Chain A
């Protein structure tokens, strides 16, 4: 059984009396352990799709199952609790809290769990060492480079050990070197730790790190190319 299963998903935004259809009957299966690159022109609904899979928003129509959670049927409160255990979010602009140190930012999601302080510390250290920043744990976001900030954000997404990571243009704001290290890290998380990853990106080179590419255009997933084919095309 696929880990993520979307069937006939519609998303229509309502702006006053205006209806903006974004996703038009989208269906897709993603297996556990896949690393999916989600591509498509600006405004095609990539972020919208990611938000639906991550339980941040609800579809207008259709069903979304992740693991054994039927997201479209869950009320907001359950979705929130579900997110904290099953999803790690990574954003383009990192979104770290500026007043907290790297370690504290990583620890933040753990505050939602009943856990001994020592265990929390261990987990934070582990997550920071996975992203290679154990020596920066006391730095504030303002004392880190963009690439380091994004790696801290990845550590924060990892620390609760979720099955799925959702990344929305994680390298969109980074220089080539930092982007490469972040992509390499995601690749490792996929291959070594078996995380299911969906990454939105505009960059074909970034997409090439994924095991599968999806293209979203005009509300439909119109292509589903294996990695080899993509390499040939770009």
Chain B
């Protein structure tokens, strides 16, 4: 037997309370882990997007109000020679498979410039050629193809979620390996033609993605475009891609910020609840601690023992919170709506474990100090 044995045995004393304490730490730490993972993922995405030298041009007040298609030519004509690599228009389609909830994002994009503006997808010339030739061509990300069981050549029918909710048939012409998350792209002219047939009016554009050739060009784009359209009926707002995405994500409520605040706040709950149960547990053991002191265990040893018990409880709680979800996201393709594939980063897992241990330590701090200060003779008298 070692002191560790005693420590572990002590946890079996009141299994219900031990379980509750562990859960009191595990549940908040689970939320913390998920929150941190999402926040990290968003930050990573935003950081990446700034490297792509793209800006988003959309309607001044909201990207949900569409702009006319011809603005693309105006932007192209505006730029000094060599500043702009290409402009790609995007229109939100929000397509869903009949009878299923939308689980992915779909957009109409310009056929001719898509591959250039989204260079990070590394669309091959062959893939791009098929995208030009097939009127109903669509490109989907590997993740989406996998989840829907689609292959190149498959016909897919989607219904748009914006009025007049057109029902359109597509042919998957490419699944570019580098295309990320759950995306479905198809040609703007096909969308435009469908809408004109149904309503008589053309497709509106949510965003003009302007790929710039250099940081200076991007700096120019950020001010010059808005200045140009300032007094027109189509006032624009030009933003960095990261700013746009941050805003886009906040448009459904600032859930990233909210999640993170909740994630941090909830750690306090863990400490409070664990503190409560641990205080109770050690108050009941006052006499046992007095006996240990009588046998010759020093105050320091007792303090360490109580703290270790706290840390051990925290660690178990942390492992329960992080272990399964870590394994799940590393061993399988685990995806959640809007975020796509999720994987708990090693660093986040380590931080969550450390925070869980710290919660246990904090919760045990007061009981430990009380146990260390115990007056042995007095405590032995107490009839508990």
Q: Which residues of A pack against B, CB within 8 Å?
A: 47, 51, 54, 56-57, 76-77, 80-81, 83-85, 89, 91, 95, 97-100, 104, 107-109, 111-112, 120, 156
Contact = CB atoms under 8 A, between A and B. Distances in A.
21 contacts: A51-B377, A54-B294, A56-B376, A77-B298, A81-B298, A83-B295, A84-B295, A84-B296, A95-B287, A95-B288, A97-B9, A97-B291, A99-B9, A99-B12, A99-B13, A100-B6, A100-B9, A104-B1, A108-B295, A111-B1, A112-B297
Contacts of B3: 111
B377 A80 contact: no
Given A57-B377, A76-B299, A83-B294, 14 more contacts: A80-B296, A80-B299, A83-B296, A91-B291, A91-B380, A97-B6, A97-B288, A99-B10, A99-B12, A100-B6, A100-B9, A104-B1, A107-B1, A112-B295
B294 A108 contact: no
Greatest chain B CB density within 10 A among A56, A84, A109, A120 is at A56
A56 B296 contact: no
Contact of B297 (A54, A80, A95, A120): A80
Interface string B288-305: 100111111111000000
Contact of B296 (A91, A95, A98, A112): A112
B5 interface: yes
B199 interface: no
B383 to A, nearest CB: 9
Given A99-B13, A111-B2, A89 B377 contact: no
Interface of A is mostly: helix
A83 B296 CA distance: 6
A56 B377 contact: yes
Contacts of B380: 56, 91
Contacts of A81: 296, 298
Given A95-B288, A95-B291, A97-B288, A108 B299 contact: no
Interface string B1-38: 11101100110110000000000000000000000000
Q: Which range holds the interface residue count of chain B?
A: 20 to 34
Interface string B50-74: 0000000000000000000000000
Contacts of B296: 80-81, 83-85, 109, 112
A123 to B, nearest CB: 12
Contacts of A108: 6, 292, 295
Given A104-B5, A111-B1, A80 B10 contact: no
Nearest to A51: B377
Greatest chain A CB density within 10 A among B1, B2, B298 is at B1
Nearest to A80: B298
Nearest to A168: B380
A184 B174 CA distance: 93
Contacts of A107: 1
B78 to A, nearest CB: 79
A3 to B, nearest CB: 20
A172 B202 CA distance: 98
Interface string B261-273: 0000000000000
B373 to A, nearest CB: 11
Interface in B354-384: 376-377, 380-381
Contacts of B299: 76-77, 80
Interface in B295-323: 295-299
Nearest to A54: B294
Nearest to B14: A99
A95 B298 CA distance: 18
Greatest chain A CB density within 10 A among B288, B377, B381 is at B377
Nearest to A121: B1
Contacts of B10: 99
Greatest chain B CB density within 10 A among A54, A77, A83 is at A83
Contacts of A112: 295-297
Contacts of A99: 9-10, 12-13
Nearest to A97: B288
B12 to A, nearest CB: 6
B53 to A, nearest CB: 65
Greatest chain B CB density within 10 A among A84, A91, A99, A100 is at A99
Nearest to B10: A99
Greatest chain B CB density within 10 A among A77, A85, A112 is at A112
